């Protein structure tokens, strides 16, 4: 896209710096200390109402800090936990008493929120921001090769670390290239702050070059958005944006800044209070002890309880494990909740839903108590809603009150931070002696019989490489410790089924939106957020090519991202549906070159163009050594694994149907 500078607007009543050279100050600057606290929330989604109080009270508190979560690094050989220092200091680039551009105020505001990496692609309306970034000693800009790659990378950064991801784009097409990422972050509850440049204020509404009303475009796919009309408001707005993105149910917040506001000269007031009384008043309070007692009674009365945990459980894995230790209740996870409870544990039922395990879906179907923690009863989990857990009493705990009863009516609902609710429940269960009194052994035995009868499996066809086998080998060679990102499609489901995630934030995928092209840039963000972790993008050829340009970013940033490409030359999941429901009629799902029999496009050439080592493997007997070489090669590496396009992801509950309609046999090699 074009990068064209707009002329500064000199007619507005403010002072502007028009030179690109910044004066050097030799003043002794004070050191500011920011105190960061971990984000443990997931909740309210507000997209339409204004969050500002037009008449803020003088006593309103301005206590907002960046969400910094403790995370676990995951190299192959260790599971060491690294905790970032909670206190970080920085020295302002410009003395506090001196004026500076709005763009410099913005960058210092980001520094004060603990930001160290941003993913920004410059253009005419955002040039001032990028110029200010060059003056920062704290923040490093990662240059993606497409704005969508930038926002997906910011999501990967946030998902892998629990911190707020930040991305920057120019106005017009730069801003609209953020749309898929914003929608994805909203559906998957990802803390994100997206900053866009805008045409000068006097040009807004004139159809100026590269003008797009991005506030209106993104209103329904952000938790909130701001247009900054005065640089004096930047410190407050940035505080509010980070607080909104990371508190309650996390989500994306957009800040749109006209170019003349970026050039406006001010002395910032860093003590401006936030103005979010409507939002803060609706955040969940501590759970009522009466509700917790009610849930505990249901657990003691139950004979066949099941835990159904989702993305809301990622920040309370320790409390969840303690709850399971006390109750010995089996755990089924959604796609978004993978890793919140170890998949290798004997009480894990792995994933439930459309492509979940037979035993997870069996347990849900037969249960008399469903404990739904941090979930939203998504259609890919429930199928036919009326038939889902039809025998069970349902307890639903979620931090977002809008999710309670939205898709499935619970018998007991609790709007609460799940971490706090689980701590309260655990104390209550300990007091009642749950560990010795509860006995669900007969129920577990029944489920274990289903595990033995219907394990996840696949067929072998000579030297052809089953994609499921490729995931199993990867899991074995990495000891289940890698951070895995994916695109969307069959490879995504196989990665969910056959990799044994041990802890939260190992699994990065586009769940709610299902955005192809997510895997590669998300891996890029994860590698920056967790430099000591082994990061692998397990991708499909269709998804991979949608953001293949980010290979250039990975190379120039020297990010050690490994790419294992499951290449079947087709849009595999769509082909599977064609086989099942459209008599195998191919409707534009072949991605190869019909005039040639060789693999097309040649993914190795993409890697070569970006100076990334790569190899191709076509035989099952050669696969393990090829994956070993990928893992042992320093820096980035691409392994092109050729797999049959006839493979189907099984089990499969067809959309809108129930567990009794599950498909367990067949593939594209036979008539279905």
Can you read off the two tokens belonging to residue 614?
Answer: 């790569």
Task: Say which of 159, 223, 259, 451 is annotated catalytic.
Answer: 259
Can you read off the two tokens belonging to residue 293?
Answer: 């007692």
Task: Say which of 36, 148, 198, 210 is annotated catalytic.
Answer: 210
Task: Say which of 564, 573, 603, 630 is annotated catalytic.
Answer: 573
The answer to whether 502 is a known catalytic residue is no
Whole-angstrom distance, CA of residue 518 vs CA of residue 537: 10
The string over 612-635, giving b where at least 16 C-beta atoms fall within 10 Å of a residue's C-beta and e elsewhere, is: bbbbbbbebeebbebbeebbebee
Residues 6 or more apart in contact with residue 256 via CB below 8 angstroms: 175, 196, 198, 214, 215, 225, 226, 227, 228
DSSP H or E run through 537? strand 535-540
Judged by DSSP in three states, 454 sits in coil
Beta bridge partners of 617: 641
User: Tokens 């739904």 appear where?
Assistant: 372
The string over 166-178, giving b where at least 16 C-beta atoms fall within 10 Å of a residue's C-beta and e elsewhere, is: bbbbbbbebbbbb
CA atoms within 13 Å, Cβ hemisphere of 667: 16
617 with 465: CB under 8 angstroms? yes
The answer to whether 440 is a known catalytic residue is no
Whole-angstrom distance, CA of residue 563 vs CA of residue 545: 12
- Tell me the backbone φ, ψ of residue 90, rounded to 5 degrees: -150, 155
The answer to whether 147 is a known catalytic residue is yes
Whole-angstrom distance, CA of residue 548 vs CA of residue 634: 20
The answer to whether 647 is a known catalytic residue is no
Task: Say which of 16, 29, 32, 209 is annotated catalytic.
Answer: 209
Q: How far is CA 650 from the centre of its chain?
A: 25
Whole-angstrom distance, CA of residue 164 vs CA of residue 270: 20
For the chain, the helix, strand and coil percentages under 3-state DSSP, each to the nearest 5: 35, 15, 45
Task: Say which of 147, 211, 403, 578 is annotated catalytic.
Answer: 147
DSSP string of 121-145, one letter each residue: ---GGGHHHHHHHTT-SS-EEE--S
User: Tokens 């690294």 appear where?
Assistant: 82
The answer to whether 603 is a known catalytic residue is no
Whole-angstrom distance, CA of residue 352 vs CA of residue 493: 11
Whole-angstrom distance, CA of residue 15 vs CA of residue 30: 26
Burial class (CB in 10 A: 0-12, 13-18, 19+), 32: middle
The catalytic site residues sit at 147, 209-210, 259, 573
């Amino acid at each position: 896209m074009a990068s064209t500078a707009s002329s500064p607007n000199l007619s507005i009543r403010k002072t502007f710096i028009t030179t690109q050279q910044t004066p050097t100050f030799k003043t002794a600057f004070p050191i500011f200390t920011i105190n960061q606290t971990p984000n443990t929330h997931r909740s309210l989604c507000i997209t339409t109402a204004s969050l500002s109080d037009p008449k803020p009270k003088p006593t309103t508190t301005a206590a907002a800090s960046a969400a910094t979560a403790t995370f676990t690094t995951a190299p192959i050989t260790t599971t060491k936990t690294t905790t970032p220092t909670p206190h970080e200091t920085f020295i302002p680039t410009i003395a506090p008493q001196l004026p500076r551009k709005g763009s410099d105020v913005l960058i210092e505001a980001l520094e004060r929120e603990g930001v160290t990496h941003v993913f920004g692609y410059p253009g005419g309306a955002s040039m001032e921001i990028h110029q200010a970034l060059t003056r920062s000693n704290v923040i490093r800009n990662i240059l993606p090769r497409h704005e969508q790659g930038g926002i997906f990378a910011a999501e990967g950064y946030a998902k892998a670390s629990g911190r707020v991801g930040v991305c920057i784009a120019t106005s017009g097409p730069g801003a609209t290239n953020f749309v898929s990422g914003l929608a994805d972050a909203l559906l998957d509850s990802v803390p994100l702050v997206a900053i866009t440049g805008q045409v000068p204020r006097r040009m807004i509404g004139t159809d100026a070059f590269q003008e797009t009303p991005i506030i209106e475009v993104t209103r329904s796919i952000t938790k909130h958005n701001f247009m900054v009309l005065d640089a004096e408001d930047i410190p407050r707005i940035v505080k509010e944006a980070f607080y909104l993105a990371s508190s309650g149910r996390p989500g994306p917040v957009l800040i749109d800044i006209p170019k003349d506001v970026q050039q406006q000269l001010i002395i910032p007031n860093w003590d401006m209070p936030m103005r979010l009384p409507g939002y803060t008043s609706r955040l969940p309070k501590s759970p009522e002890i009466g509700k917790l007692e009610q849930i505990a009674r249901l657990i003691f009365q139950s004979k066949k309880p099941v835990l159904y945990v989702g993305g809301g459980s990622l920040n309370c894995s320790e409390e969840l494990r303690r709850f399971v230790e006390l109750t010995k209740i089996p755990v089924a996870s959604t796609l978004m909740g993978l890793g919140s409870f170890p998949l290798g544990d004997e009480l894990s039922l792995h994933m439930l839903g459309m492509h979940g395990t037979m035993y997870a879906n069996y347990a849900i179907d037969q249960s008399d108590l469903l404990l739904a923690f941090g979930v939203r009863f998504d259609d890919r989990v429930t199928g036919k809603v009326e038939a889902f857990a039809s025998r069970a009493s349902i307890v639903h705990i979620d931090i977002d009150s809008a999710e309670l009863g939205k898709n499935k009516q619970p018998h007991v609902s609790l709007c609460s931070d799940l971490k706090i609710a689980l701590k309260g429940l655990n104390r209550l269960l300990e007091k009642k002696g749950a560990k010795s009194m509860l006995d669900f052994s007969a129920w577990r035995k029944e489920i274990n019989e289903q595990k033995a009868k219907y394990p996840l499996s696949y067929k072998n066809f000579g030297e052809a490489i089953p994609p499921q086998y490729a995931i199993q080998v990867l899991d074995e060679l990495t000891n289940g410790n890698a951070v895995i990102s994916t695109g969307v499609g069959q490879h995504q489901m196989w990665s969910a089924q056959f990799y044994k995630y041990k802890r939260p934030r190992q699994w990065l995928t586009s769940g709610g939106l299902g955005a192809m092209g997510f895997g590669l840039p998300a891996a890029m963000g994860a590698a920056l957020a967790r430099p000591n972790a082994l990061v692998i993008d397990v991708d499909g050829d269709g998804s991979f090519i949608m953001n293949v340009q980010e290979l250039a970013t990975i190379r120039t940033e020297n990010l050690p991202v490994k790419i294992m490409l499951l290449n079947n030359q087709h849009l595999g999941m769509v082909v599977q549906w064609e086989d099942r429901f459209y008599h195998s009629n191919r409707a534009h799902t072949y991605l190869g070159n019909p005039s040639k029999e060789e693999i097309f496009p040649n993914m190795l050439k993409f890697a070569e163009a970006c100076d990334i080592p790569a190899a191709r493997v076509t035989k099952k007997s050669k696969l393990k050594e090829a994956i070993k070489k990928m893992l042992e090669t320093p820096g980035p590496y691409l392994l092109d694994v050729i797999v049959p396009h006839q493979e189907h992801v099984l089990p499969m509950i067809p959309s809108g149907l129930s567990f009794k309609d599950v498909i367990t046999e067949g593939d594209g090699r036979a008539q279905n």
